[in-house]
Amino acid sequence: MHPLRDKLRVGLQDLGLLVDDERQAQLLAYMDLIAKWTKVYNLTAVRDADEMLTHHLLDSLAVIAPLRRELAKLDLAEQPSTSSTFRLLDVGAGAGLPGVVIAITCPDVQVTCVDTVAKKAAFVQQVAATLRLPNLKGLHARVESLTQPFDVVCSRAFASLVDFTTWSKSALAPHGVWMAMKGKHPEQEMAALPEGIEVFHVEQLLVPGLDADRCIVWLRG
């Protein structure tokens, strides 16, 4: 039994998320893969397992319920896309947070994690193969070069809202939304957004065991 299984289970209960045993095991296996690869490739500054559970896993799981709510609003039947599954792009994904967590808990979402660092994209590919996640892909590229349409473009502590939306605009479907994970309410970043980019919701998040400000800024172009 994984030493952090019970803590993960309690955290999921606190977040009101129903995640079956198989997917909980995948989440813990993913965390173990981060710890293993970090010894060689320095994927994350967080090394302590308990801290990794809170700062990485639960922090990413906190966006699942809000994400599912927004996806429910994007009725694919009304979109010109030929795909019947949602497509999500995680920009500057690093070790795959929150992209891998979304792929594990939302099997109906096709997740692409893009990073300019080859070893980080390779790590996500390794996670997809090891955990048998057909809906997950790691991509070594600059986000500015991507033009295929994604329903949701997300980032976690990646860049300012201006840079994030400017760099990834070509990858956002006309009906799509941006999901920017932030710490404190980013008043100044929001004020600096150009015309044509609309913040339609700022959502406060409560991460179990984490005494820090967290929010999602939802935007559309």
Please name the residue that has the structure tokens 């096709």: 110
**Domain count of the chain?**
1
* Model pTM above 0.85: yes
CA–CA separation, 221 and 215 (whole Å): 20
For the domain that residue 168 is a member of, what is the CATH number? Answer: 3.40.50.150
Residue 80 pLDDT level (bands cut at 50, 70, 90): low
Range of the domain at 173: 5-220
Report the DSSP beta bridge partners of residue 134. Answer: none
* Per-residue confidence (pLDDT) for residue 163, from 0 to 100: 97
pLDDT, tens digit, 9 for 90 and up, residues 116-163: 999 999 999 999 999 999 999 999 999 999 999 999 999 998 899 999
Residue 114's Cβ-count burial label (10 Å; 0-12, 13-18, 19+) is buried
Distance between first and last Cα of the chain: 46
